[in-house]
Amino acid sequence: MRPLIDAQKKLLPDLLDVMQKRYRILQYIRLMQPIGRRTLSGNIGISERILRAEVQFLKEQNLLSISSTGMVVTPDGEQLLQTLEDVMREILGLKDLETKLKRILPIEEVIVVAGDSDLSPWVKKEMGRACAARLKERMSSHSIVAVTGGTTLAAVAEMMTADPKQGDVLFVPARGGLGEHVENQANTICAKMAEKAAGNYRLLHVPDYLSNEAYQSLIEEPAVKEVLQLIQSANIVIHGIGDAITMAKRRKTPEEEMAKIIAGNAVAEAFGYYFNQAGDVVHKVQTIGIQLDDLRHVRHVIAVAGGASKAKAIEAYMKQAPRSVLITDEGAAKALVRESYPSP
């Protein structure tokens, strides 16, 4: 297949551009459906008229249907997107980025999605879709999936779909309160993901900052204890990676902890842990649930993070996270590659 694409690149590069354009349009519509022409043209950066021509074409090809509420991808279109996914990734050079990233980072697998989530918010959804697909591959009946918070994970939850093949899947939050807003809390995302995936879920109701005594007594609560046990036996963990300072600021981090984070030159954050450039833990939020060491016993660890601004955080975190699957975007991947191959 590869030689065919290369040959096509040589023989008709202009047509591949067109193909790419149409693919992207269809992909967008799938992401934001139902959506109108004008809104889409604004989002995608194509003039309305040309988008209109393309849309009309795609409609004639039966790849999308078009009603007064907006445009929707048809089953035909869905299948086309799926068939062409690998090819487009190859054409866009994402495959290339993936192999380069694999050489740079000690990871098991990496998926690079087109775009930069710093610049275009919908790219997170695309990462979410990719994550959901990989998650499905790894889920089996009675799997326990632990998830963390963050906007990226929210996107993953949103793109999750139910799969009749897999039976009872249980979603749990990976760790207790970290100080996030409600929509980004692990509990919220956990519930949403379970709902979308038609699975069950258990929540962990823990106040953000506890005194030691309260903490100890809470752990002994039967309800809490049971959930904690489930969390400990999770075989899949999905988490985001954040920029340390940004995360610390977003959470209501007390001053002395903030100082500690800054003093330690933290650059990365993941489920309540702060890491410096070398991947060493600089600080951790005191809460219950999965601890960093527990990760080593979890079969599948999936990290989702994108945007050029997160490149450094991803690099730092991954240094100490072996056997992970990383799902990122073009922006972050390019930044990472650029850094490691200084010349061109």
Nearer residue to DNA within complex by CB, 8 or 43:
43
Q: Of 8, 16, 37, 163, which one interacts with DNA (CB under 7 A)? A: 37
Rule CB under 8 A: say whether 18 interacts with a copy of itself: yes
- CB within 8 A of 247, min separation 6: which ones? 269, 274
Rule CB under 8 A: say whether 23 interacts with a copy of itself: yes
Rule CB under 7 A: say whether 21 interacts with DNA: no
Rule CB under 7 A: say whether 25 interacts with DNA: no
Rule CB under 8 A: say whether 182 interacts with a copy of itself: no
Q: Of 19, 72, 210, 292, which one interacts with a copy of itself (CB under 8 A)? A: 19
> Which ranges of the chain does DSSP label H, i.e. alpha helix?
2-11, 13-32, 37-44, 48-60, 75-91, 94-104, 122-138, 151-159, 186-196, 212-220, 222-232, 244-250, 255-263, 311-318, 330-340
For residues 94 and 113, is the Cβ–Cβ distance under 8 A? yes
Tell me the C-alpha distance between 66 and 73, whole Å: 9
Centre a 10 Å sphere on the Cβ of residue 179 and count the other Cβ atoms it contains. 18
Centre a 10 Å sphere on the Cβ of residue 195 and count the other Cβ atoms it contains. 14
Tell me the closest approach of the beta carbon of residue 56 to DNA, in angstroms.
7
Tell me which of DNA, a copy of itself, none is bound by residue 66, counting a contact when its beta carbon lies within the kind-specific cut-off of 5 to 8 angstroms: DNA
Tell me the closest approach of the beta carbon of residue 77 to a copy of itself, in angstroms.
9
Binding part of the chain for a copy of itself, among 1-9, 41-49, 65-73, 211-219 by CB under 8 A, reads 1-9
Write out the binding residues for DNA, residues 122-181 only, by CB under 7 A: none
For residues 79 and 73, is the Cβ–Cβ distance under 8 A? no
User: Which two three-digit tokens encode residue 53?
Assistant: 């021509």
User: Which two three-digit tokens encode residue 124?
Assistant: 């997170």
Rule CB under 7 A: say whether 49 interacts with DNA: yes
Q: Of 31, 66, 133, 230, which one interacts with DNA (CB under 7 A)? A: 66
Rule CB under 8 A: say whether 74 interacts with a copy of itself: no
| Burial of residue 335, with CB atoms counted within 10 A of its CB: 0-12 exposed, 13-18 middle, 19 or more buried | buried
- CB within 8 A of 259, min separation 6: which ones? none
Rule CB under 8 A: say whether 76 interacts with a copy of itself: yes
Contacts with a copy of itself by CB under 8 A lie at 1, 3-4, 6-8, 10-13, 15, 18-19, 22-23, 61, 63, 76, 80, 83-84, 87
Contacts with DNA by CB under 7 A lie at 35-39, 47-50, 52-53, 56, 59, 66-71
